[in-house]
Structure 1
Amino acid sequence: MPAKIVMIGGGSGLPVIIQPLVKADVDLTAIVTVADDGGSSGLLRDYVNIIPPGDIRNILVAMSTADQELLDLFQYRFQTHDDFLAKHAVGNLLIAALTEMTGDVSEAIARLAKYLKIKGQVYPVSKEPLILKAETVAGQKLSGEAAITAAHQALDSVWVGPSVEGQTIQANPDAVDAILSADMIVYGPGSLFTSILPNIVVPGIREALQATPAKQVYIANIMTQKGETDAYTDAEHLAVLNRHLGKPMVDAVLTNQSEVPDDFVDYQRWGEISTQVKQDPMAIEAEGATVVSRDFLLLRDAGAFHDGQKVASVLLDQLEND
């Protein structure tokens, strides 16, 4: 039987690793945050009262084996001068429509997965939209992913609350089952506080991550994130992850050893003032994890990204060597 890999995260980082893994002989599952409240996803979650669809849309496309023409339509985003539909992606609207038609977001995703001929499973971490909350290092409380990101404050911890007062937060049972039956859990790459941790702090998910026999791997970010992780080393990212997991759970950390040229990244274009994440192998080992240091760097579009193929190859090696 193919090895079972569960990817946990959100944002734009996860699809980069998923695309090459789809071509490998593995059983792939993505568990995606439902706390996004910005852009098209935020508008739809408010108007239609559904989980934010953007990250799910991107991962469905990353796992798809359908024709590129269909994927281009699914990803098409209306122009800003189209007042009513401005900035909405077609795929987001389809997820919203199918959720309303079926009354179940899992059924909506399953139908789209069939249409797009995906190889793998995509599960929202919860079937209800959640509100991300944070406390800064200075003790300030923040609410909402967009507000947390815009504040550019050094963060200490995050947690989630229900979007409807008094509602009980429940983990998606499919996500819990996938974690408990996995051979490998992969965190990231992606924003630590707003893409990865919002999944882990959902009640039921952390307990499953503590109980699973799976090998757990963290893909350390290449660049810091403005305000949230300024000057963080790879080991400091890991320490925050383990703290939110409740205890050291990560077995291996994939960390980039290649240098990002000082003059390559266009910080104005990406809206970030960031620096390269420095390596601290001794501190990683002190957290109980093995250091896997490689050239994972891909320079493109005036930015520094993970080379998905290189990362996927190392993840598959980790499976074989376990």
Structure 2
Amino acid sequence: MTAKIVMIGGGSGLPVIIKPLVQQNVDLTAIVTVADDGGSSGLLRDYVNIIPPGDIRNILVAMSEGDQDILDLFQYRFKTDDDFLAKHAVGNLLIAALTEMTGDISQAIAKLARYLKIKGHVYPVAKQPLILHAETKHGEELKGEASITAAHQALDHVWVVDNEGNQDIQASPEAIEAILSADLIVYGPGSLFTSILPNIVVPGIREALQKTKAKQVYIANIMTQKGETDAYTDAQHLQVLNKHLQAQLVDYVLTNDQEVPADFVDYQKWGEISKQVIQDPEAIEQEGAKGISGDFLALRDAGAFHDGQKVTDVLLSLVEE
């Protein structure tokens, strides 16, 4: 029987794991945040009133078994001096166009999935654009993912509202069904407060995560994120996740134990100063989870990333247990 794996997140972290995972005999689903308001995605959500397409585009490409030339075109981003089209990715424009043509983001994604020959399912966590809000440790309220990231303040919790400010939001039924029927739920890797948690706080998603019989795994980030998780241990990431889940639902935490060379990461290129996430296995156990420590490190592009194949091997072993 084919294992059903559901990945929850957004940003650039999920595709790293998805690419090797789709090569396995699994039924893979990605549930993606719709609260991105920066760059091309932010512009399209404001002018066309659709959910931000960037994260969906990247995951579609990661799941695709299509022609590489088509994928390169789908990912092509217009140059900054192209004025009207500046910074827009072709795939974002196609998602916007198909959403307008079909009147439904799910139908738009389904069409693109056929065109790109994807192996898996991609569901937005909700079918309407959402606005992320955060409260800092000092009680200040921040609005919008881009503003939250730029503020560089310690965060306490997040929530989402629709464009009218309402918190009564409907999660995508497909996303809820995928969670309830899953064998394994995987959180991340990705920005904790702006990629993972914006999915969990959508009404209906948390309840499904509390109800599912699936094992649940958190892939801890290799590096901290400025303004979001400064000096966080792997256990502190988990504590925040469990706080938003309103229960100790996570069964396993995957943490990299290989040292990132001090002079390897180009902090100027990646736009932030970060430090390697410290392991705290005892605190992980206190949060009701089992720590899985290993060499999950891939050094490339002057940055520290997860080795997708090594993480995939562990995820498959957990499914088989």
Identify the residue that residue 106 of structure 1 maps to in structure 2. 106
Deviation at 1:167, TM superposition (A): 7.7
Pair 1:286 & 2:286 matched:
yes
Identify the residue that residue 276 of structure 1 maps to in structure 2. 276
Q: Is the 8 A contact 2:168 2:203 kept in 1?
A: no
* 1: CA distance, partners of 2:136 / 2:165: 23
Identify the residue that residue 225 of structure 1 maps to in structure 2. 225
Unaligned runs of 5+ in 2: none
Pair 1:4 & 2:16 matched:
no
Deviation at 1:165, TM superposition (A): 4.1
What are the equivalent positions in structure 2 for 1:1-322 lying under 5 Å apart?
1-166=1-166, 168-321=168-321
Cα gap change, 1:274 to 1:73, in 2 (>3 Å): same
* 2: CA distance, partners of 1:125 / 1:291: 28
Cα gap change, 1:166 to 1:197, in 2 (>3 Å): closer
Deviation at 1:166, TM superposition (A): 4.7
* 2: CA distance, partners of 1:61 / 1:18: 10
| Aligned-partner SS, 2:86 | coil
Cα gap change, 1:23 to 1:83, in 2 (>3 Å): same
Supply the AA of the counterpart residue of 2:109: I
* 1: CA distance, partners of 2:48 / 2:213: 38
* 1: CA distance, partners of 2:236 / 2:167: 34
Cα gap change, 1:243 to 1:166, in 2 (>3 Å): closer
* 1: CA distance, partners of 2:41 / 2:224: 25
Deviation at 1:164, TM superposition (A): 2.7
Q: Is the 8 A contact 2:152 2:228 kept in 1?
A: yes
Instruction: Give aligned-pair identity as a percent.
Output: 79
Deviation at 1:315, TM superposition (A): 0.4
| Aligned-partner SS, 2:84 | coil
TM-score, with structure 1 as normaliser: 0.99
Cα gap change, 1:197 to 1:166, in 2 (>3 Å): closer
TM-score, with structure 2 as normaliser: 0.99
Supply the AA of the counterpart residue of 1:37: D
* 2: CA distance, partners of 1:101 / 1:310: 41
Q: Is the 8 A contact 2:133 2:159 kept in 1?
A: yes
Question: Runs (4+) of structure 1 moved beyond 3 Å?
Answer: 165-168
Deviation at 1:45, TM superposition (A): 0.2
User: Structure 1, residues 15-37: CA drift from partner, whole Å, max 9, x if none?
Assistant: 00000000000000000000000
* 2: CA distance, partners of 1:230 / 1:208: 30
* 1: CA distance, partners of 2:88 / 2:302: 26
Deviation at 1:227, TM superposition (A): 1.3
* 2: CA distance, partners of 1:170 / 1:274: 36
Q: Is the 8 A contact 2:298 2:305 kept in 1?
A: yes
* 1: CA distance, partners of 2:318 / 2:213: 15
* 2: CA distance, partners of 1:166 / 1:303: 39
* 2: CA distance, partners of 1:167 / 1:285: 33
| Aligned-partner SS, 1:254 | strand
**Could you say what the CA RMSD is over the residues aligned between the two structures, in angstroms?**
0.7
* 2: CA distance, partners of 1:158 / 1:23: 34
* 1: CA distance, partners of 2:164 / 2:295: 45
